[in-house]
Amino acid sequence: MIDLKPSINFWHDFKSNQTAGMWLFLGSRRSLQIVRPSILQLIFWGILGGLANSLFSWLIAGEGGIFNPQGLVSYALWPFLALIVGIFLSQRTNNPRLMLVPALLWLVLDTHIALLQSLIQYLGNLDYLPYVLYDFMPTLFMVLFVWQSLAVVWVFARELHWPWWERALIIGATWFTLVVWQMSVTSQPIWKVEEIPPSFTEAALYAQPQLLNKALEQIQLGEFAKTHWYFVGVAGASYQDVFKSEVLRIKEQFDTRFGTLGRSIALVNNPATETELPIASRTSLELALQRIGQQMNRESDILFLYMTSHGLKNQFEIENAPLDLKQIDPKWLREALDRAGIRWRVIVISSCFSGSFIPALQSDNTLVITASAADRQSFGCNNEADYTYFGRAFFDQAMREQNSMQETFQQAKATVQQWEKAQGFDASQPQWVMGKNMELMLPQFEQALFPPSHLAQGTADELKSAP
């Protein structure tokens, strides 16, 4: 028989019920010994639970969320079911005061769990959690949701001494119902993000040919007997802003520091630039390579091709929904470069499994750098970031500090390894493969890219001595 304590006052009952919720989380029958049920407590904890779950849902939805009244109705269904269970138990045990206890305990525990989930989600939104935890957060939230109901069933089953078969049947049915519910209820959160189907506007449709032609026409002819670097940047996936941001920042870095202004082009898949920049596709990339091949001096000029996106083995993702674009594979990319007649090539590919491109792309005249090995993932792809891990380590850090490609790569590789180890990721293992002719010519090409240290020091001394 469950002996419920009488109510004393609101705040005393509130603290007792809060403590009961803590014991319930541990699956302890002590929660039934200290709970103090009343209509006022049920209403108050119901409001707190609704607010805590609204906060959690709002944190998940982010700035794009809108209030969804149906979500509150879905949430209220569970304490209502617990109340029905309480009515059944009160009649079965001939204890009317037991009627409110299951719903009250469920609400108390749910409120605390929702606040805990909100804290975890908030830290995740701020990027304060180790990245290895992000994949487990949905599972953790589901386990917590299922346990808060199973805990109520568990303590009542033990306290009322239900037979083992009845316990197993009720707990199994509750677990199954909760898991199925939690997997399907995501369509009705309290704060909802309306999914907007991707579109490609009419303005973009007609602007794209002009944008591509203009970008190709501005690529200048290289001066005779002088080394020039040409830059092509490809941002493949439209649904994450980091690729657009990375390519545009690297293009600006090459144009302003490395002298590729007038000899560079960015091909970007992103809704924000569809009327401003040519999109990335097989067609636009091949036309860009052909134009550069026509303008560059084949013997003394060199191409720097940077591609960033998601990827699979032997596939670089080209996506700009709702357009149906073909993916880039190593064989096609090698053939496109060959058809363009570009002799000297530095190709950097930042994507998962990008090392799978190396066998097809490597040649005596080529340096291939990839963000990952053929069987490894790379990291740092999210809308809040300006660079991927490899892009930031290579271009934003190492390339600003070093004066050779190999030193840049070695520093970037070490930096990426440190970040991945700190976040608990499997090492991406960036790759470097250089042909024998490129190994001889690269120092000469780098003189046009990186200013010699003695010239840089001389310039600094002149500035110091200037009046």
DSSP one-letter code for 245:
H
pLDDT, tens digit, 9 for 90 and up, residues 106-127? 999 999 999 999 999 898 888 7
CB atoms within 10 A of CB 177: 13
Q: Are 373 and 422 members of one domain?
A: yes
Instruction: Say yes or no: 351 and 214 in one domain.
Output: yes
Residues 143, 227, single domain; the answer is no
Instruction: Taking residues 258-281, report their average pLDDT.
Output: 96
Q: Which band of pLDDT confidence, cut at 50, 70 and 90, is reported for residue 184?
A: low
How crowded is residue 185: how many other Cβ atoms within 10 Å of its Cβ?
14
> Quick one: pLDDT at residue 464?
40
Work out how many domains the chain is built from and give that number.
Answer: 2
d(CA 211, CA 260): 19
Domain finish residue from 193, 217, 237 = 193
CA dist., res. 51 & res. 47, Å (int): 6
Does residue 80 lie in a domain region?
yes
Q: Is the pLDDT of residue 455 over 60?
A: no
Query: Is 50 exceeded by the pLDDT of residue 466?
Result: no
**What does the alpha-carbon distance between residue 117 and residue 140 come to, in Å, rounded to a whole number?**
9
Question: Is 285 buried (19+), middle (13-18) or exposed (0-12) by CB count in 10 A?
Answer: buried
- All residues at 6 or more sequence positions from 98 whose CB lies less than 8 Å from its CB, including other chains: 2, 4, 37, 86, 89, 90
Distance CA 389, CA 372 (A): 11
> pLDDT per residue over 299-356, tens digit each?
999 999 999 999 999 999 999 999 999 999 999 999 999 999 999 999 999 999 999 9
State mean pLDDT over 350-369: 97
Closest CA to 285 of 342, 228, 239, 241: 342
pLDDT at 270 (0 to 100): 95
Work out the pLDDT band at 94, boundaries 50, 70, 90.
confident
Domain-embedded: residue 466? no
User: What is residue 185's predicted lDDT score, i.e. its pLDDT?
Assistant: 60
Residues 149 and 58 in one domain: yes
Peptide bond into 69 cis (omega under 30): no
Classify residue 3: in a domain, yes or no: no
Q: Which of 193, 227, 257 is the last residue of a domain?
A: 193
Give the helix/strand (H/E) hosting 89.
Answer: helix 69-93
Instruction: Judge if 165 and 213 occupy the same domain.
Output: no
Domain shared by 232 and 183, yes or no: no
* 301 and 444, same domain (yes or no): yes
* pTM score: 0.68
- Hey, what are 300's tokens? 């003394």
Picking from 156, 174, 193, the residue at the C-terminal end of a domain is 193
Q: Read off the pLDDT band of 169 (50, 70, 90).
A: confident
Indicate whether 162 pLDDT > 60.
Answer: yes
Q: Can you give the residue range of the structural domain that contains 18?
A: 10-193
Tell me the backbone φ, ψ of residue 195, rounded to 5 degrees: -75, 120
Higher-confidence position of 209 and 192: 209
**Would 467 be classed as within a structural domain?**
no
Residue 10: pLDDT over 80:
yes
Of 13-22, 150-159, 310-319, 406-415, the least confident: 150-159
User: Which amino acid appears at position 190 of this protein?
Assistant: I
Residue 209 sits in the same domain as residue 286: yes
Indicate whether 70 pLDDT > 90.
Answer: no
Question: Is residue 5 pLDDT above 70, yes or no?
Answer: yes
Quick one: 220 and 308 in the same domain?
yes
Share of the chain above pLDDT 70, in %: 94
Mean per-residue pLDDT, 69-91 = 87
pLDDT tens across 371-386, in order? Answer: 999 999 998 887 778 9
Here the CATH number for the domain that contains residue 306 is 3.40.50.1460
Q: Classify residue 213: in a domain, yes or no.
A: yes
**Residues 176 and 319 grouped into a single domain:** no
> Which of the 8 DSSP states describes residue 228?
-
Structural domain contains residue 131: yes
Of 131-135, 154-158, 227-231, the range with the lowest mean pLDDT is 131-135
Torsion-angle region of 53 (φ positive above 0: left; ψ -120 to 50: alpha; else: beta): alpha
Shared domain check, 113 and 241? no
Q: Residue 355's closest CA among 333, 326, 382, 375?
A: 375
| Res. 54: pLDDT tops 90 | yes
Instruction: Please check whether residues 317 and 241 belong to one and the same domain.
Output: yes
Residue 396 domain flag: yes
User: Average pLDDT over the chain, rounded to whole?
Assistant: 89
In a domain, 346, yes or no: yes
